[in-house]
Amino acid sequence: MSTIYDKLNDKQKQAVFTTEGPLLLLAGAGSGKTGVLMHRIAYLINEKHIDPYNIMAITFTNKAAKEMKERITNLIGADGNFVWVMTFHSSCVRFLRRFIDKIGFDNNFTIYDSDDQRTLMKKIFKENNINSRVYKERAVLNIISSCKNELISPVEYMKSATDRYEKGAARIYEIYQSTLKKNNALDFDDLICRSVELFENCPDVLDYYQNRFRYIMVDEYQDTNTAQFKLIYLLAQKYKNICVVGDDDQSIYKFRGANIENILSFEDKFENVEVIKLEQNYRSTGNILDAANAVIKNNRGRKNKSLWTDGATGANIELRQFANADAEADFIIKDIKAKANDNFKDFAVLYRTNAQSRLLEERCVTLGVPYQLVGGVNFYQRKEIKDVLAYLKTIANGSDDIALLRIINVPKRGIGATTIAKVADYANENVISLYDAMTICENIGIGKAADKIKKFIAMIEEFRDKVAKKANIANMIEELLDKTGYIESLYDEGEIEGESRKENIEELVNKSVDYEDGELSLFLEEVSLVADIDRMDENADRITLMTLHGAKGLEFDTVYLAGMEEGLFPSAMSSITREDLEEERRLAYVGITRAKKNLILTSAKQRMINGETRYSLLSRFVNEIPRDLLDKHILDTEKKYTQRTYSYEEALPWENKAKPDNVKNTLSFGKQFKVERQKSLDYAVGDTVKHIKFGIGKVLEIVDGEKDFEVKVNFEKFGIKKMYAGFAKLIKI
């Protein structure tokens, strides 16, 4: 007699039929874990006769929870509606709505979103005279969120503070929490933390939910933070029927607070844990899985497992290395166009940083290839890019009131909404542009604000003179960013967010390098045309452009991993510690296992970063793939990019391995970049140094990196730069 379990493989059946006690289900990429969870719930209800009311399934996103709910009801019928299938946060809202009065809140509490949090923090800064030059609102909110992820209270954070800044942040944290309490409000992180507090302080409430949830399942367990682990740990303590499903090799959200130790140390937290590995993959070809296994095995902090398939071996992985990033992007989009046959949805291009999407987007528009940008907005629609372009538009055309209104007080320069409204009224009454009204603002009656506006106008006029004198656009953008302090303002949102936005601006600078000095209008015209994608048919078949972080959980027939270069992927910063490097390697593993049939790895020998050309070695992750799994393609035809001619070529710089006979020791173009380790430095932190291009600066930090000393310098004209000592050749003065 056939059953719903017949199609499961042996390991999947074992996972479904193991219902009592703690279970760690290590589910590799593409191993059918969601199906296993659904069949496990069905088995509990149909065969073990467990009341659906006593089963809890927790996941991370509303989309995943909805899909799980639908699959359960399709599998077992109406009983599936009584299973508790929710996200962590939705579950906690349910707990707290019923019992939060036991820990001093009213049950009708308000939940603050990120905008509410920022508004509250601004109020706290103002009422407590907090120095906004030292403490940034969003930076402090990030600190508070990190503390809550680790269940660190304001008092505990104050005790662990090591300097004045951290002690000040702890004090703000304390005020923030007391204000939330006064307002009977919780922020998003509080939903987890207050639920843990409720369970720890109210044994009767914990006992109620422990009896309710006798069988607990947690999906994507590798993404849990410390607070989420504590919540699940408390709920599971009575019956200990807890099944956690995850893959430590796909733990890539450390920057969001995910703690990989939750899955690595699960067997230490519960007694008599059974471990089942789902290693059979139903997604990818054998060669793709072999490549993924070869890369991830280099991580030390992982559970031992290896993906395999009964399916086809498949094609080899393609490796293409180009002269520059323009050639790389051009090849990728042309290759997709040639192969797609009007079936673009089967193709995806994945990359490490958002900034890499710019060239790909431009080639899609130029070549008429429909695309969707997932996990972000169109490059030219991002806030930081729109801000910089608004400055340039104001310089190019003073009649553009929309551009002027966007940046008149960005970054904040003390020109408030009331002042702008008065100037706008004057402009309307006299039928002149807002810019023209600002040039005579001293006649409008706006008091001291007139001096601030005049200073802004003087800056714009200065840049207009530069345009008239055919100034270099890239240099002008960098000077504009320096004069306005715009880059510094980006870090108000936190270091990670600020760095990402800064990288996007650097990509805009790279774009501007392609234009002759003084061609500002031409630059703005092309940018406007490229940015105009809103007219595309949303139902059209499109390729997908997205970051590697955004791609987790997805799959495509053909995947391109772009920018496989040292310093980009893995990033330069990740190479400092083993833990960070291993997270980058897990990200590479996620990228490789998104591909079902075809995987193409691409890199550029040189890439423009912040307006300057940098040379890169092939990513170590490529070098970790066995050579017999790779096909290298030498393209000897010449292509033209931005009025320059490059030849396509490929090289395989296998580190510490014998080179194949057909790989030459020399490169046929460009300059081979090599970092030479310095034995010692004749300067130290705090010293003033000189760089051949960036000029005079002060050394902020020196790190003894894997390849060479990594030196961070704050240059007087160019801001903070990080570079290898051997490459920088800094001179102490």
Residues annotated within a binding site for ATP = 27-34
Tokens of 269: 């937290």
Which stretches does DSSP call E strand in 261-339? Answer: 274-278, 317-324
Residue with tokens 């108000």: 492
DSSP 485-504: THHHHHGGG-HHHHHHHHHH
In the numeric block, the tokens 């990989």 are attached to 260
473 with 375: CB under 8 angstroms? no
Q: Annotated catalytic residue: which of 12, 34, 224, 544?
A: 34
528 phi/psi in degrees, rounded to 5:
-65, -40
* Catalytic site residue from 11, 33, 302, 605: 33
Of 187, 189, 220, 583, the active-site residue reads 220
Helix (H) or strand (E) run with residue 232 in it: helix 226-236
**Given the residues 594, 605, 607, 620, the one annotated as active site:** 594
Nearest to 413 by CA among 453, 363, 459: 453
3-class secondary structure, 557? strand
Is residue 447 classed as helix, strand or coil in its secondary structure?
Answer: coil
Instruction: Count the Cβ atoms, other than its own, within 10 Å of residue 356.
Output: 26
Backbone angles phi, psi at 703, to 5 degrees: -120, 130
Sheet holding 242-246: strands in order across?
A: 84-87, 55-59, 215-218, 242-246, 23-27, 274-278
Task: Kindly name the residue from 137, 197, 219, 566 that is annotated as catalytic.
Answer: 219
Q: Is 594 a catalytic residue?
A: yes
Cα(537)–Cα(481) distance, integer angstroms:
36
Q: Which of 504, 501, 503, 620 is nearest to 569 (CA)?
A: 620
Binding residues: 27-34
Residue 219 known to be catalytic = yes
**Cα–Cα distance between 136 and 498 in angstroms, integer?**
12
Catalytic residue flag (residue 250): yes
DSSP, collapsed to helix, strand or coil, labels residue 535 as coil
Whose structure tokens read 């772009």? Answer: 562
Query: What is the spatial distance between Cα 591 and Cα 348, in angstroms, rounded to a whole number?
Result: 10
Tell me which long-range contacts 402-411 makes (C-beta under 8 A, separation of at least 24).
404/434, 404/435, 404/438, 405/434, 408/453, 408/456, 410/486, 410/489, 411/484, 411/485, 411/486, 411/488, 411/489
What's the rounded Cα separation, in Å, for the pair 29 and 246? 9
Is residue 226 flagged as an active site residue?
A: no
Other C-beta atoms closer than 10 Å to the C-beta of 141 total: 22
Buried b (16+ CB within 10 A) or exposed e, 612-631: eebbbbbbbbbbbbeeebbe
Q: Which candidate in 228, 250, 309, 484 is catalytic?
A: 250
Q: What is the DSSP letter of 335?
A: H
List residues with catalytic annotation. Answer: 33-34, 219-220, 250, 594
